[in-house]
Every structure is written in structure tokens, then in C-alpha cells.
Amino acid sequence: MKYTIDKQDKYSLLKLHEEKLDSSIAPSLKSELITTHAEGVKNIILDLSEVKYTDSSGLSALLVGNRVIQEDSGIFVLAGLSEHTHKLIKISQLDSVLNILPTVEEAVDAVFMNELENDLKEGEEDH
């Protein structure tokens, strides 16, 4: 699996450099997402702008990433989806489960909003 990872203070940006997110890539993506989270990353942005095709095993990897991150009050955001991938997510009715934004910049904003919300919740619990 070809990808780059850009670790920032509040999130990691993982960019897939693959045309297909299918059964040959999905297991590697799953383990990379789990490992990244295990290293202490609470928020992950997955840039899929180079991915043209996704199948059910690719969707499964996305759901694993989403679940692992949400268990820790983090946010998992998909950015730059191809029309095909977006349609597949909609057909599977996962558009209500997954956080999907058009651009990485918007995904970064979503991470910061999520962090603010978590900080506010923690502040309320302290009182």
C-alpha cells in the first residue's frame, strides 16, 4: 500500500496513493489506521483524492478506522472522495455514519471543531 502520513499536533493526515481501495489494500489500511490510533493519534483525516475505485473490503477498512477513532472521542474524516466511492458509501447508507468532507482543509476544520466540543464537554463535567 502506497501512502504518506503527515502527523500534526491535533491529527494525522493519511493520504492514499492508490487508484483502488480494494481487498489488496484494505487489510494494510485497517492495520495502519489501528496502529496510528494506538500511537496516540486521536483524529485521523484520510485523503482519498487519488482513489478512483472502492469495493466492500475498502468500505470495511473505513468503518474500522471510524469505529476505533470514535471510541476515543476522536473524529475520523474522509476527504476528496471520487464520485464512485461517494456513491458506494451512499448506497450502503454509510453517509450518515462516516464524516465526509470535500477537501482536506474542511476536514482539518472539522477536527478542530471536534476538539473544541470535547474540551467544552470536559469543562462541563468538571463543574
Task: Give CATH for domain 3-126.
Answer: 3.30.750.24
What pLDDT shows up at residue 9?
A: 93
What phi and psi, each to the nearest 5 degrees, are found at residue 124?
Answer: -65, -40
Which of 4-28 are b and which e, b meaning 16 or more Cβ less than 10 Å from the residue's Cβ? eeeeeeebbbbbbebeebbeebbee
The grid coordinates listed for 31 are 492495520
What pLDDT shows up at residue 127?
A: 63
The CA distance from 119 to 80, in Å, is 28
Domain ranges of the chain: 3-126
Residue with cell 493526515: 13
pLDDT along the chain (127 residues), means of 10: 95 97 97 96 97 96 96 95 96 95 97 93 77
